[in-house]
């Protein structure tokens, strides 16, 4: 077995965790294909990340975990059947039908924020919105809001520590929540709620029904992706608008600009830091030779800020080519819930801007930046008027 490369950086150093976006910008310029003991090989440039995504059949496998992960942790041809099944649950008609519920939740949460006193936009809006919107879309009870938020926090801590025992315990805890929901629907039979969770019990892959493990994996993937990234998105959007009052007012007066503005803000500050792959054969990328079976980390938070594609990565522009934005991934693993996420964020931002006169950072208070694997902010003191 060849010797491991000498580490080029430490993803868990205080310097990196204190400001991930700044650190990844520096790595993209200094060492765009970098090795670390923690993440394996990390790709920071847009060009290299796109190569990894587009060459999935040749070089990069998505099977990175010993646990079943449907569909993101499965390669073709198995991936194709699962992906087709999952996409049916995010068809435009179903997403559009969810808008009234999404607006009611958004309006309720924005209205509940106190005016003229300091509020934490992360804990009092972003996390609550993510939990409520996820449970509403999947047909889950309100009693799961707080347990799910605590579960996401535990999952992040175990992932950062790379504590395999803790990660297994976290997965087992989530599986318990889902198993209870599924068992209740099985017992109810025809009287079960007509929602996505019940639909999955009737789904088939190939010539057989989905089994219990597959259903739990699908719901776990949706929940991890939704709760963490939607929370991060809301914090990032709120922070950017507070720091840019002219844009805030422009969007308040012209909400039709919100979809493009949201995608651009989240390009600059990614809500999802990275995804993993494994090489299936030796490959040379960015001038570095990577052996077969090596872990590879695709750093979205850097690729979407690559000067070679976007020029000044911090320049806010509404006329960028959306095909270059990797916010929701690319290729066979592009996020199937992208349209749903865009609707949820648009509606929440519409309600936030419509029901306020101004949102600003709280004087004398600093936001707390979230640390890997989370992104955005873990606290965001603000004044709402």
> What are the average pLDDT values for consecutive 10-residue runs of the chain, which has 385 residues?
84 94 97 97 97 76 68 81 91 96 98 97 96 95 88 78 79 85 92 92 91 90 87 97 98 97 98 92 92 94 98 97 95 91 98 97 94 92 97
Q: Residue 384 domain-assigned?
A: no
Q: What is the CATH number of the domain that holds 19?
A: 1.10.630.10
Q: Residue 4 domain-assigned?
A: no
Q: Residue 6 domain-assigned?
A: no
Q: Residue 270 domain-assigned?
A: yes
The pLDDT assigned to 66 comes to 61
Q: For the chain, how many structural domains are there in total?
A: 1
The pLDDT assigned to 274 comes to 95
Q: Residue 183 domain-assigned?
A: yes
The pLDDT assigned to 55 comes to 83
The pLDDT assigned to 171 comes to 75
Q: Residue 362 domain-assigned?
A: no
- Contacts with 238 (C-beta within 8 Å, 6 or more apart), sequence order: 121, 125, 126, 352, 359, 380, 382
Q: Residue 126 domain-assigned?
A: yes
Domain coverage including residue 329: 14-355
Closest by CA to 90, choosing from 204, 186, 199, 174, is 199
The pLDDT assigned to 362 comes to 97
Q: Residue 373 domain-assigned?
A: no
The pLDDT assigned to 26 comes to 98
The pLDDT assigned to 102 comes to 98
């Amino acid at each position: 077995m060849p010797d491991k490369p000498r580490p080029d950086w430490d993803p868990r150093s205080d310097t990196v965790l204190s400001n991930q976006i700044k650190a990844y910008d520096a790595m993209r310029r200094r060492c765009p294909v970098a090795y670390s003991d923690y993440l394996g090989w990390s790709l920071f440039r847009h060009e290299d990340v796109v190569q990894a995504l587009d060459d999935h059949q040749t070089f990069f496998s998505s099977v990175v975990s010993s646990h079943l992960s449907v569909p993101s942790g499965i390669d073709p041809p198995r991936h194709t059947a699962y992906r087709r099944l999952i996409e049916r649950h995010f068809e435009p008609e179903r997403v559009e039908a969810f808008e009234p519920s999404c607006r009611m939740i958004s309006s309720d949460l924005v209205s509940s924020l106190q005016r003229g006193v300091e509020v934490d936009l992360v804990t009092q809006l972003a996390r609550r919105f993510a939990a409520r919107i996820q449970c509403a879309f999947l047909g889950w009870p309100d009693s799961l809001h707080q347990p799910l938020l605590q579960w996401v926090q535990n999952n992040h801590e175990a992932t950062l520590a790379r504590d395999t025992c803790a990660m297994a315990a976290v997965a087992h805890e989530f599986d318990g929540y889902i198993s209870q929901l599924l068992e209740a629907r099985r017992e109810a039979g025809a009287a079960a709620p007509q929602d996505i969770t019940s639909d999955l019990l009737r789904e088939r892959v190939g010539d057989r029904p989905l089994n219990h493990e597959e259903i739990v994996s699908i719901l776990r993937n949706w929940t991890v992706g939704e709760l963490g990234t939607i929370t991060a998105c809301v914090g990032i959007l709120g922070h950017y608008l507070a720091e840019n009052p002219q844009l805030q007012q422009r969007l308040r007066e012209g909400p039709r600009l919100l979809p493009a503005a949201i995608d651009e803000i989240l390009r600059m500050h990614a809500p999802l830091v990275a995804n993993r792959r494994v090489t299936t054969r030796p490959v040379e990328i960015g001038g570095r030779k990577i052996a077969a079976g090596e872990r590879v980390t695709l750093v979205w938070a850097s690729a979407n800020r690559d000067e070679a594609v976007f020029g000044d990565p911090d320049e806010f522009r509404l006329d960028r080519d959306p095909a270059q934005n990797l916010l929701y991934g690319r290729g066979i693993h592009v996020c199937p819930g992208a349209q749903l996420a865009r609707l949820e964020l648009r509606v929440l931002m519409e309600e936030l801007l419509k029901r306020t006169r101004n949102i600003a950072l709280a004087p004398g208070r600093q936001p707390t930046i979230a640390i890997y694997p989370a992104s955005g902010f873990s606290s965001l003191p603000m004044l709402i008027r």
